[in-house]
Chains A and B, each alone.
Chain A
Amino acid sequence: MTAESAGKGNVELFELPAELAIDTSVAQRVIEGFIRGQLRQAGFERAVLALSGGIDSALVAYLVASAIGPERLLCVLMPYRTSSPDSRTDAETVVEALGCASEVIDITPMVDGYFGPDSDASALRRGNFAARMRMSVIYDRSVTWGGLVVGTGNKTEGLIGYTTIFGDNASAFNPIGDLYKSQVRQMAVAMGVPISIIRKAPSADLWPGQTDEREGGFSYPMLDRLLFWRIDKRRSIEEMEALGFDRATVERVDRMVATSEFKRQVPPIAKLGPRTSGIDYLYPRRRPGSARG
């Protein structure tokens, strides 16, 4: 299946594996109710998110704007000196289309101020540090704007651990964390996210010309299908091979999922007392009395 049957127009925007096709109107209904519910239960009316110019944060911006109105959304653009100018342009297109508030905060002085001018720090360290500077800024803007931080990570990157812990994976709630990249694309088409954003190759934009698929050595449709059958549908390695997946690729993805388990969970607490958070003190996050003011 291609996006032709799922989206608008006759342009083949991306490859959509048939088993990953969702009813976007149901998904939109659930997600927008989720966004309103999370804010209401926490005592907030506004939201803030980091808008990169990529499809994930663009889709979340569209969903939040549709759920609570664009006037309650602040998008923060946080470029670094090596960030692609196209990312900035695409983010500005989203802000303009939605009519929401926006701010641009250059994180270059923060990142370069820490590493110094002649640092030989690896791209990984720089990338993680930049992600955590963006997290610091967005949480500060959460206070000045009076809104909750909305997460923008998708299910695919969450499962393989292609995220920075306490960086881009930090949020008050995440509306698209259970959508694979292919499903994010399907939703983006349905929500009217600009075609240029849907078409371009996904990138963490940590250095010029970087793309997720080149760096990881996979294509998103293949990876999404692999994760769907392996995790959602509980297929064994042998069954994956029968479905046509390459055994070595399945094993490699299995390792990525296992080694990133820690990024998806709250850090463990050494059990000592009678009742311990997350172990035998188990309350809903939102309960009577938990909302702000």
Chain B
Amino acid sequence: MERVRIALAQLAPALGALEDNLERHRVALGEARDGGANLIVFPELGLTGYLLQDLAAEVAMRLDDPRLGALVAETRGVSAVISFVEESADHRLFIAAALVEDGSIRHVHRKLFLPTYGLFDERRFFAAGDLLRAVPSDLGAGIGLGICEDFWHMAVPQLLALDGAQILINVSSSPGRDLASTNEVGLGTATSWRTMMRTYAQLTTSFVVFCNRVGLDESITFWGGSEVIGPSGEALFSAPLYDEGVFMVDVSLGDVRRERIALPLLRDERPELHVRELQRIIDERAGLSMRDTTAEEGAEPGLDVMPLATPIER
């Protein structure tokens, strides 16, 4: 498939209202399909809302849940990314995003990085995923899924690209904050994300698809601004801030090949260098190596500063 029509479902999920949100997904899916979309991307926790706290267990679904199955069945002939609270067989709760194609679940990504600082408290309520995989898709390009904070860790987009992804998809529930007039669009959060997405697209020479929700959970307003960035780092489409809608963008997958021939960054990557140096850093932090290359002289293994030899005189 050379030309892919991407639908960004920039929705405002209702907090904890699973049935309502399932219906909104069905409607948006139908609208996107009628508009000729090949890939429909929904935001992080689009089926449940974000600020769930103890509601998380009440809206969680196993992958064999018939409610999820009914939505999945509606993806005949198209690809979609949907996000929900997944309960594993051993009853851990994950923030999950599934690649769903032609009526079946092809891949489930469990959020790897759970922000638990500032206004975030995810680690209290959710388990972190352990797997990162790029997967083939019916679109004829490898897909790499990440969820919101996952893309605040540089290794994630890079690993996905090295693993064969040509379209990096990030689904988000990003709360807008830092409302300074000095920012590009009046919102610090938007400026940060836009900078990152363009950088990732350029450095991985891949498409980056960012779908961020809108609407309100409690005090928090989500800012939307979903985007599709081309492999050269150029924004192909930017959805409006705060408006709910299903936005269509056409991309040419040939752009990946053109960019990677012209700028062979992925060809020149040195993953074996990463592994070697990361292993050294891990060993030094754990105190397992003979000598920590950045620690102070005399520091114990695993510590980077030498403790005071004598107590401070009072």
**Residue A282 CB within 8 A of the other chain:** yes
Q: Which of B53, B181, B221 contacts A33 (CB 8 A)?
A: B221
**Residue B17 CB within 8 A of the other chain:** yes
Q: Which of B16, B215, B221 contacts A287 (CB 8 A)?
A: B16
Q: Which of A23, A33, A286 contacts B186 (CB 8 A)?
A: A23
Docked-complex contact B181 and A23, CB < 8 angstroms: yes
**Residue B147 CB within 8 A of the other chain:** no
Q: Which of A23, A284, A285 contacts B187 (CB 8 A)?
A: A23
Complex CA–CA separation, A273 to B217 (angstroms): 28
Docked-complex contact B15 and A286, CB < 8 angstroms: yes
Contact indicator per residue, chain A 9-27, by CB within 8 Å of chain B (1) or not (0)? 0000000000101110111
Docked-complex contact A284 and B16, CB < 8 angstroms: yes
Q: Which of B14, B53, B183, B216 contacts A282 (CB 8 A)?
A: B53
A-B contact pairs, 28 of them (CB 8 A): A22-B180, A22-B186, A23-B185, A26-B179, A26-B185, A26-B186, A26-B187, A29-B241, A29-B242, A30-B179, A30-B242, A33-B215, A34-B216, A34-B221, A37-B216, A283-B53, A283-B55, A284-B15, A284-B16, A284-B51, A284-B52, A284-B217, A285-B218, A287-B15, A287-B16, A288-B14, A288-B16, A288-B17
**Residue B310 CB within 8 A of the other chain:** no
With CB as the reference atom, state the residue of chain B lying closest to A174: B219
Given contacts A26-B241, A284-B15, A287-B16, contact A21 B182 (CB under 8 A): yes
With CB as the reference atom, state the residue of chain B lying closest to A27: B179
With CB as the reference atom, state the residue of chain B lying closest to A35: B216
Nearest CB in chain B: distance from A275 CB, A: 9
Docked-complex contact A37 and B215, CB < 8 angstroms: yes
Given contacts A22-B186, A23-B187, A26-B241, contact A284 B218 (CB under 8 A): yes
**Residue B54 CB within 8 A of the other chain:** yes
Docked-complex contact B218 and A23, CB < 8 angstroms: no
A41-B216, A286-B218 known, 9 other contacts, Cβ within 8 Å: A19-B180, A22-B180, A25-B186, A26-B187, A29-B241, A30-B242, A33-B242, A37-B216, A284-B53
For B186, what are the chain A residues with a Cβ–Cβ distance below 8 Å?
22-23, 25-27
Chain B 19-57 residues near chain A, CB threshold 8 A: 51-55
Docked-complex contact B181 and A22, CB < 8 angstroms: yes
Complex CA–CA separation, A21 to B218 (angstroms): 25
**Residue B164 CB within 8 A of the other chain:** no
Q: How many residues of B contact A (CB 8 A)?
A: 26
Docked-complex contact B183 and A23, CB < 8 angstroms: yes
Contact indicator per residue, chain B 147-187, by CB within 8 Å of chain A (1) or not (0)? 00000000000000000000000000000100111110111
For A34, what are the chain B residues with a Cβ–Cβ distance below 8 Å?
216, 219, 221
For A26, what are the chain B residues with a Cβ–Cβ distance below 8 Å?
179, 185-187, 241
For B15, what are the chain A residues with a Cβ–Cβ distance below 8 Å?
41, 284, 286-287
Nearest CB in chain B: distance from A210 CB, A: 31
Chain A 187-203 residues near chain B, CB threshold 8 A: none
Nearest CB in chain A: distance from B55 CB, A: 6
Nearest CB in chain B: distance from A123 CB, A: 34
Nearest CB in chain B: distance from A281 CB, A: 7
Docked-complex contact B55 and A284, CB < 8 angstroms: yes
Q: Which of A25, A30, A288 contacts B176 (CB 8 A)?
A: A30
Nearest CB in chain B: distance from A229 CB, A: 14
For B17, what are the chain A residues with a Cβ–Cβ distance below 8 Å?
288
Docked-complex contact A23 and B216, CB < 8 angstroms: no
Residue from B14, B181, B216 with most neighbouring chain A CB atoms (10 Å): B181
Contact indicator per residue, chain A 273-293, by CB within 8 Å of chain B (1) or not (0)? 000000001111111100000
For A37, what are the chain B residues with a Cβ–Cβ distance below 8 Å?
215-216
Nearest CB in chain B: distance from A232 CB, A: 9
Nearest CB in chain A: distance from B47 CB, A: 13
Complex CA–CA separation, A281 to B242 (angstroms): 31
Nearest CB in chain A: distance from B13 CB, A: 12
Docked-complex contact B179 and A287, CB < 8 angstroms: no
For A25, what are the chain B residues with a Cβ–Cβ distance below 8 Å?
186
Q: Which of B51, B52, B179, B241 contacts A22 (CB 8 A)?
A: B179
Complex CA–CA separation, A38 to B51 (angstroms): 15
With CB as the reference atom, state the residue of chain A lying closest to B17: A288
Complex CA–CA separation, A27 to B253 (angstroms): 38
Docked-complex contact A23 and B16, CB < 8 angstroms: no
Contact indicator per residue, chain B 246-273, by CB within 8 Å of chain A (1) or not (0)? 0000000000000000000000000000
